């Protein structure tokens, strides 16, 4: 049982940095995609707002929430 708990803790610690670095990559990919869209497209404005929220969450250290917000933006595209 102790070995399982140690393995789970190690897995959680290893996954945390991956999420931290995922935010900027997702945000950059979304920004690149939105840049190719027509500026008059209503979806572009919505996505830009979600990207801005994701960036604010990332800057505040709320990595999981930032990734979720970026994924929400990606679904709109």
Q: State the residue range of the domain holding 65.
A: 19-76
- Residue 21 has what pLDDT? 61
Question: Who's near 50: CB < 8 A, 6+ residues apart?
Answer: 69, 70, 72, 73, 76
Q: In this structure, how many other beta carbons lie within 10 angstroms of the beta carbon of residue 48?
A: 16
How far apart CA 53 and CA 67 sit, in angstroms, is 10
Give me the number of domains the chain comprises.
Answer: 1
9 within a domain of the structure (yes/no): no
6 within a domain of the structure (yes/no): no
- Contact assessment for residue 51 and residue 70, using Cβ atoms and an 8 Å cutoff: yes
* pLDDT tens track for 16-75: 444 456 778 888 888 888 888 888 888 888 989 999 999 999 999 888 898 888 888 888
- Contact assessment for residue 70 and residue 48, using Cβ atoms and an 8 Å cutoff: no
- Residue 3 has what pLDDT? 53
- Residue 45 has what pLDDT? 87
pLDDT tier at 13 (50, 70, 90 boundaries)? very low
pTM above 0.75, yes or no: no
5 within a domain of the structure (yes/no): no
Q: Name the nearest CA neighbour of 31 among 56, 12, 50.
A: 50
């Amino acid at each position: 049982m102790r070995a399982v708990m140690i393995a789970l803790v190690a897995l959680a610690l290893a996954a945390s940095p991956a999420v931290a670095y995922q935010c900027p990559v997702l945000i950059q990919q979304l920004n690149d995609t939105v840049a190719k869209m027509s500026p008059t497209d209503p979806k572009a404005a919505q996505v830009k707002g979600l990207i801005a929220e994701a960036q604010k969450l990332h800057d505040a250290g709320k990595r999981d929430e930032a990734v979720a917000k970026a994924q929400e933006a990606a679904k709109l595209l």
